[in-house]
Amino acid sequence: MIISTTPLLDIKGLNAGYGGVRVLHDVSLSVGQGEFVTVIGANTAGKSTLLRTISGLVEAQGSIRFDGQELVGRPSHLVPALGIAHVPEGRHVFPEMTVEENVMLGAYAVRSASDLATRRDRILTMFPRLRERLHQAAGTLSGGEQQMVAIGRALMLEPKLLLLDEPSHGLAPKIVDELHETFLAVSRTGTAILLIEQNTTLALSVASRGYVLEAGRIVLSGTSAELTGNDAVRSAYLGL
Ligand SMILES: Nc1ncnc2c1ncn2[C@@H]1O[C@H](COP(=O)(O)OP(=O)(O)O)[C@@H](O)[C@H]1O
Ligand SMILES: [Mg+2]
């Protein structure tokens, strides 16, 4: 018997760019339900553009099917409600607002008060550091803690797919390890993750599968083990 499973995210023949300058060329990529996938690529390869295109922030042609719906042509403000949370590059917190206020901003679409409390508690259990600093202004936190706030806010949506754009950038190794443990914990709850990291070794150590993006084109894909063992990946991205 053949069991066909439709991927949660299924991108086919995607072209995208800015004002006539094409950045992504014929990109095809998929993420299964609950799967942890990474996109590897050098600076300016188009990784952030790919995530922004999924979120509806970049003009695109081609197809992005998500959970049975076509995303191309859909305005970006409708995308979160479909179950996609995007944590963009940089650490975006509102510095004057408390940790709790920042996290709760992610819950704007949650209607039931008991759901809100459950989600809030789940996130604070995942990030004990945030529970300790709940009433502190987010701007006074360390970079790593601010990143946890941004991720916690995204998780308030209980997304089916979490898009993470270089969450470890500029953070101390100890906090990076903590963050990646959290990603694995999120992944174990059944949330699919599409992760971008400059640190390829790190990305391949947590994701189960990956794609290599070069100058806006997917040039290689495979399981993390296959990519780690690939000579071209080893010399270009793993410094081996
Ligand atoms: N808002 C923008 N307007 C015009 N060009 C952009 C914009 N954002 C990115 N680009 C260009 O798109 C290309 C890919 O950028 P980006 O997706 O940020 O790459 P990466 O995240 O892999 O470093 C780069 O050449 C960059 O200059
Ligand atoms: Mg980028």
52-86 pLDDT per residue, tens: 999 999 999 999 999 999 999 999 999 998 999 99
* Mean pLDDT across the chain: 93
The mean pLDDT of 152-181, rounded to a whole number, is 94
pTM of the model: 0.95
229 CB-side CA count, 13 A: 6
* pLDDT tier at 110, thresholds 50, 70, 90: low
**pLDDT value at residue 203:** 95
State how far the Cα of 90 lies from the Cα of 228, in Å rounded to an integer.
27
Strands (E), the chain: 9-18, 21-31, 36-40, 59-66, 69-70, 84-87, 161-165, 192-196, 209-214, 217-223
Mutate to test the pocket of ligand 1, among 14, 18, 89, 195 (most ligand atoms within 8 A of CB): 18
**pLDDT value at residue 90:** 87
* pLDDT tier at 237, thresholds 50, 70, 90: very high
Mutate to test the pocket of ligand 1, among 25, 49, 164, 200 (most ligand atoms within 8 A of CB): 49
**pLDDT value at residue 1:** 56
**pLDDT value at residue 115:** 82
198 Cα distance to chain centroid: 13
State how far the Cα of 43 lies from the Cα of 169, in Å rounded to an integer.
12
Most confident range, picked from 89-98, 101-110, 224-233: 224-233
What's the gap in Å between 213 CA and the centre of ligand 2?
Answer: 12
What's the gap in Å between 1 CA and the centre of ligand 2?
Answer: 42
- Which ligand ends up closest to the CA of 50? 1
